[in-house]
């Protein structure tokens, strides 16, 4: 059981590093955020099943994760329609 937790923590750290380093393309940023969300979900699931609780919390967490994914896809589609690509570097925060 501990080996699975170490692998998940390692995957979490890798996705966090990818999120911090890949800030040129919006799609890579969104994919790394989804990986972070998935790893947090799996770690919470293992933690809460060890204590015998957390069924409703997992449903609420998955609902918020799906909403976050939908919002990210909507931003990606609007960016591609507006600019033609998903590059964030040429955009200014003030132009949004």
pLDDT tens column, 3-32: 877 888 888 888 888 888 877 788 888 888
What is the overall mean pLDDT for the chain?
Answer: 82
pLDDT tens column, 32-59: 888 888 888 888 888 888 887 777 888 8
pLDDT tens column, 55-87: 788 888 889 989 988 998 898 888 888 888 877
Delineate the domains of the chain, giving CATH numbers in brackets: 2-88 (1.10.287.3510)
Q: Is a pLDDT exceeding 60 seen at residue 94?
A: no
In residues, how long is the chain?
96
- Which pLDDT value is given to residue 70? 92
Give exposure, 58-84, as e/b (b: 16+ Cβ within 10 Å). Answer: eeebeeebeeeeeebeeebeebeeeee
Check: pTM over 0.85? Answer yes or no. Answer: no
């Amino acid at each position: 059981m501990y080996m699975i937790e170490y692998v998940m923590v390692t995957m979490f750290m890798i996705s966090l590093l990818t999120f911090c380093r890949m800030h040129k393309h919006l799609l890579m940023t969104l994919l790394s955020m989804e990986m972070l969300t998935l790893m947090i979900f799996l770690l919470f699931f293992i933690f809460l099943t060890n204590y015998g609780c957390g069924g409703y919390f997992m449903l609420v967490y998955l609902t918020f994760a799906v909403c976050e994914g939908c919002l990210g896809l909507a931003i990606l589609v609007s960016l591609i329609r507006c600019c033609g690509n998903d590059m964030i570097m040429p955009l200014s925060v003030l132009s949004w």
